[in-house]
Structure 1
Amino acid sequence: MKKWFSLVLFLGLFLTLIACSDDSSSESDGGSDNSSSESEGNSDSGDSEQEAVELDFTVFGSTGYDVLIEEYQAENPHVSITLNEGEMEDVHNNLFTAVSAGSGAPDIAMIEISNIAKFMQASDQFYNLNDYGAGDVAANFLDWKWEQAQNVDGTFQLGLPTDIGPTTMFYRTDVMEEAGLPTDREEVAAEIDTWDAYYDAAKTIKEETGKPIADSPEMVFNAMRDQLDQQYFNEDDELIIEDTVKEAYDFTTKMIEEGLIGQNALWTPEWGTAMAEGSYATMPGAPGWMVANVKGNAEDASGLWDIASIPEGAGNWGGSFLTIPKESEHPEEAFAFISWLTAPEQQLKSFTNNGLFPSTPDIYENEEFLAATDDYFSGAPTAQIFADAAQNVKSVYMGVNYSMVNTAITEALINVASGGADPQKEWDKLVENVETQLERQ
């Protein structure tokens, strides 16, 4: 009986403990559920109470950002972003006027690399992105690209990098075939591997088809310029064009005078028409962002273009940064958007959609990225081609007056091409004009 009594007592205690444990667990679970519901309610309440934010975003070129903006707005319904597109020169001129006057600047402004030094001088009119977390995303980008938009000691970050422009050579397979030259991209790269070989190919194309090898003098000159370690200025801001780009200028003007290069200026209607008609053979020095321009101007030429490596190695043409002028009343929201837009995932989409080559090197090893091909460009493995080119990109000091010098050289080339001006006289005149403008500063 004592044993049975003890056993009953033990079972009673055991069942009591279980009951207590269940009650405790139930109370704990109930508390957790209530806390979770309260927390979720607060979160939902917070979302619903977020004030609507409107951001003006100014860009140039064919970025394709409208698609990504729609995606961002879907994920952040309280943010409305208006995309304003314009010509590169107009966008920069308008922005400089606005920040100088303290009125009229957008919340977010795109600035191209050749203009970044000029706007760095007006850095007091822009938010320092380091104050909003730029340091947390710096590792996403190529070091040289990141440093282009910061001051010497790294305490001020003017912009977040978008794309870079490793250069290649686009070419028309139909024109090359008509001239009796290779059309396979590897064979083209092997045969036209130096600028001397490019000159020889130009003579063959002219003789066999009557067409120039390139339509724009700027494209040939730019291709050679962008392969140099130094271009217009040294790091002491001394003009050095006689020792650096004069050879490229002479080579280009020689081909112009021999009828091997056309006369159309970049971004003109004539330039776009020639692209569509296939009235020339190659576009040397073409960066990834030029893909969208070709497709836009020559919609019916799919399969007639291809891409090969450029003679004597790639350079870099272009690339931009996203900045936040001080006029913006929503710098935190603006930074949140541009940090999202320039993240590797979105840069991959920008490359896939519009050929903007990423400044985020982790993508270069991405299988999806490397597998990208473009049917328009005869199925070319565009990602791999531009990735290979990117390995040869050099960091070049541009200086505040880069755009001014570049404009002067471009005008001289066009004067030679379209007006029959003497190349050396045009060179002497541009040097004199540039030196005069520099002395006035």
Structure 2
Amino acid sequence: MKVLVIGSGGREHALTWKISKSKYVKEIFAIPGNPGIAQLATCITIDPTNIKAIADFAEREKINLTVVGPEAPLVAGIVDEFESRGLKIFGPSKEAARLEGSKAFSKEMMKAFGVPTAEFQIFDNPEDAKAYIKEKGAPIVVKADGLAAGKGVVVAQTVEEALEAIDKIMVDRVFGDAGNRVVVEECLKGEEASYLVISDGERYIPLAPAQDHKAVFDGDRGPNTGGMGAYSPAPVLSPELEEEVKKRVIEPMLKGMAERGTPFKGILYAGIMVTENKGIQVLEFNVRFGDPEAQVILRRMKTDLVELCKKTIEGNLPEKIDWDERTAICVVLASKGYPGKYEKGKVITGIEEAEKIDDVVVFHAGTATKNGKLVTNGGRVLNVTAMGKDIHEAIDNVYRAVDKIHFDGMHYRKDIGAKALKER
């Protein structure tokens, strides 16, 4: 088989790494890829938002399966384009992908299907949004409606901070058209968990639960990022809570989407807040693998991913997925200043030394090659992953590997996995 991976980040490197282990795969292509992916695949320079050009390439190269990493091509309708040409592609349709593409649509679907979520209002007028915020008080959450690369959510601790977020999103339009509307919702307190399932439109199989760390600094302080680290399994989701998530979140959402004529195929990712007073609440839905959750989930997955994707597309889901019982952990190495402004072009060293440690794999996220050297080229630069017989060993292994790597201004959280230690 020839497989095409769409995307250029750490999630896509992890997907390519997992796909490369499949017995079915003869050749892998990536659009546009990165230097880490280039070690496993042929990287093709096509804009990942140019759907027609990507489909033309897939037809020309006789690609047997395309796997989409990021949300933007899914929201733009890449699956519809591929399917109209008879090309096999793993992911939801444009209409189903609105669950991530529009936070307002997602909240409306949750309300319609009875999925537990925070109280909310949707606004297309900044003054109306501000009036509602003043009425409700703080803390309160402001979300840009459209895609904002994981940075469109402001958890405002004061009314002033929330009003500033409205100006930033709707008036200054820092996220462009993604800020045409906002969702303003109550601020939930608790512990977050990521729950992902793979669905063929009717049935689903759960993936291993993982826990992401959104805030940039230790102790969950500072602004939200695309994710600073993850681990799997996630003890916060007990077997009882997992059953509750299936019954109250996943099943009504999949049933509701199918009944409205937009069945969901691919990865459905529920961002869950486990609260003390309201039980489980859905913060958001995503329509693809999380980043960096994919990095730990795929490290633990023993089942052939290519076979899994093929069977999902064919509406023939297997009964279960086999998992490594060990713990996987990922620590994100970021550029100084991320998630704000950061410099690029810093020379990276030590990856080979890090990967000499047993069960360590380093995935490239924001890297490039310049004058024959590997350099930083993004906010999140590398994803250092490790396995361990338990969370203690996994933490020890991953931070030993992190210590081997260096680039100027390298920033990372030193407490990834600490929550799991408390749960035990």
Whether these two folds match at TM > 0.5 is: no
Higher normalized contact order (CA 8 Å, seq sep 6+, divided by chain length): 1
Q: Name the structure where strand makes up a greater proportion of residues.
A: 2
Report the structure number with the largest CA radius of gyration: 1
- Relative to its length, the structure with more helix (as a share) is 1
Instruction: With the length of structure 1 as denominator, give the TM-score of the two structures.
Output: 0.26
